[in-house]
Amino acid sequence: MREWIAAVGARTAYIMPGSPWENGYCESFNSKLRDELLDGEIFYTLEEAKIVIEGWRRHYNTVRHTQPLAVVHPPRRRPSGRLRTPDPLRRPRRP
Protein backbone atom coordinates (compact mmCIF):
# COMPACT_ATOMS: atom_id res chain seq x y z
CA MET A 1 0.00 0.00 0.00
CA ARG A 2 2.80 2.42 0.86
CA GLU A 3 4.45 1.77 -2.51
CA TRP A 4 1.21 2.48 -4.35
CA ILE A 5 0.62 5.69 -2.37
CA ALA A 6 4.14 6.86 -3.19
CA ALA A 7 3.75 5.87 -6.86
CA VAL A 8 0.61 7.98 -7.33
CA GLY A 9 2.12 10.94 -5.49
CA ALA A 10 -0.30 10.88 -2.58
CA ARG A 11 0.46 11.02 1.10
CA THR A 12 -1.11 9.34 4.10
CA ALA A 13 -3.23 11.37 6.52
CA TYR A 14 -3.47 9.69 9.90
CA ILE A 15 -6.15 10.29 12.50
CA MET A 16 -5.54 10.50 16.21
CA PRO A 17 -5.92 7.14 17.98
CA GLY A 18 -9.24 6.84 19.78
CA SER A 19 -10.99 9.51 17.69
CA PRO A 20 -13.26 7.69 15.20
CA TRP A 21 -15.28 10.88 14.56
CA GLU A 22 -12.40 12.10 12.39
CA ASN A 23 -13.14 9.34 9.88
CA GLY A 24 -16.87 8.72 10.22
CA TYR A 25 -17.45 7.19 6.78
CA CYS A 26 -14.89 4.43 7.28
CA GLU A 27 -15.96 3.82 10.87
CA SER A 28 -19.60 3.54 9.77
CA PHE A 29 -18.73 1.13 6.96
CA ASN A 30 -16.57 -1.02 9.25
CA SER A 31 -19.36 -1.16 11.81
CA LYS A 32 -21.94 -2.22 9.21
CA LEU A 33 -19.59 -4.85 7.77
CA ARG A 34 -19.05 -6.29 11.24
CA ASP A 35 -22.74 -6.16 12.28
CA GLU A 36 -24.33 -7.29 9.02
CA LEU A 37 -21.82 -9.91 7.87
CA LEU A 38 -18.79 -10.85 9.91
CA ASP A 39 -20.51 -11.45 13.26
CA GLY A 40 -22.82 -14.01 11.64
CA GLU A 41 -20.36 -15.95 9.50
CA ILE A 42 -17.62 -18.52 9.98
CA PHE A 43 -15.16 -18.73 7.11
CA TYR A 44 -13.23 -21.96 6.66
CA THR A 45 -11.04 -20.76 3.80
CA LEU A 46 -9.75 -17.45 2.51
CA GLU A 47 -11.46 -18.13 -0.83
CA GLU A 48 -14.82 -18.61 0.91
CA ALA A 49 -14.35 -15.32 2.77
CA LYS A 50 -13.52 -13.48 -0.46
CA ILE A 51 -16.64 -14.81 -2.21
CA VAL A 52 -19.04 -14.07 0.65
CA ILE A 53 -17.60 -10.61 1.34
CA GLU A 54 -17.70 -9.71 -2.36
CA GLY A 55 -21.39 -10.68 -2.49
CA TRP A 56 -22.09 -8.52 0.56
CA ARG A 57 -20.09 -5.63 -0.94
CA ARG A 58 -22.11 -5.75 -4.16
CA HIS A 59 -25.36 -5.78 -2.18
CA TYR A 60 -24.11 -2.91 0.03
CA ASN A 61 -23.12 -0.74 -2.94
CA THR A 62 -26.12 -1.40 -5.20
CA VAL A 63 -29.26 -2.95 -3.74
CA ARG A 64 -29.05 -1.77 -0.15
CA HIS A 65 -29.02 1.96 -0.88
CA THR A 66 -31.95 1.78 -3.28
CA GLN A 67 -34.34 0.12 -0.84
CA PRO A 68 -36.73 2.47 0.95
CA LEU A 69 -36.09 2.97 4.61
CA ALA A 70 -38.31 0.82 6.78
CA VAL A 71 -39.03 3.61 9.22
CA VAL A 72 -42.41 3.68 10.88
CA HIS A 73 -43.38 7.20 11.85
CA PRO A 74 -45.75 7.87 14.73
CA PRO A 75 -49.14 9.21 13.67
CA ARG A 76 -49.20 12.95 13.26
CA ARG A 77 -51.15 14.59 16.03
CA ARG A 78 -53.30 17.62 15.56
CA PRO A 79 -53.24 20.13 18.35
CA SER A 80 -56.40 20.18 20.39
CA GLY A 81 -58.10 23.51 19.98
CA ARG A 82 -56.95 26.45 17.95
CA LEU A 83 -53.47 27.81 18.03
CA ARG A 84 -53.37 31.46 18.85
CA THR A 85 -51.27 33.89 16.91
CA PRO A 86 -48.26 34.96 18.96
CA ASP A 87 -48.19 38.56 20.12
CA PRO A 88 -45.80 40.75 18.17
CA LEU A 89 -42.60 41.62 19.95
CA ARG A 90 -42.69 45.11 21.40
CA ARG A 91 -40.45 47.10 23.64
CA PRO A 92 -42.07 48.01 26.92
CA ARG A 93 -43.13 51.65 27.11
CA ARG A 94 -41.31 53.79 29.59
CA PRO A 95 -43.22 56.41 31.57
The pLDDT confidence band at residue 15, using thresholds 50, 70 and 90, is: confident
In 1-95, alpha helices (H): 2-7, 24-36, 46-58
pLDDT digits (tens, 9 = 90+) for 40-95: 999 999 999 999 999 999 988 888 765 555 555 555 555 555 656 666 666 767 76
| 20 and 27 Cβ atoms separated by less than 8 Å | yes
So where are the chain's domains? 2-64
pLDDT digits (tens, 9 = 90+) for 18-48: 777 788 888 888 889 999 999 999 999 999 9
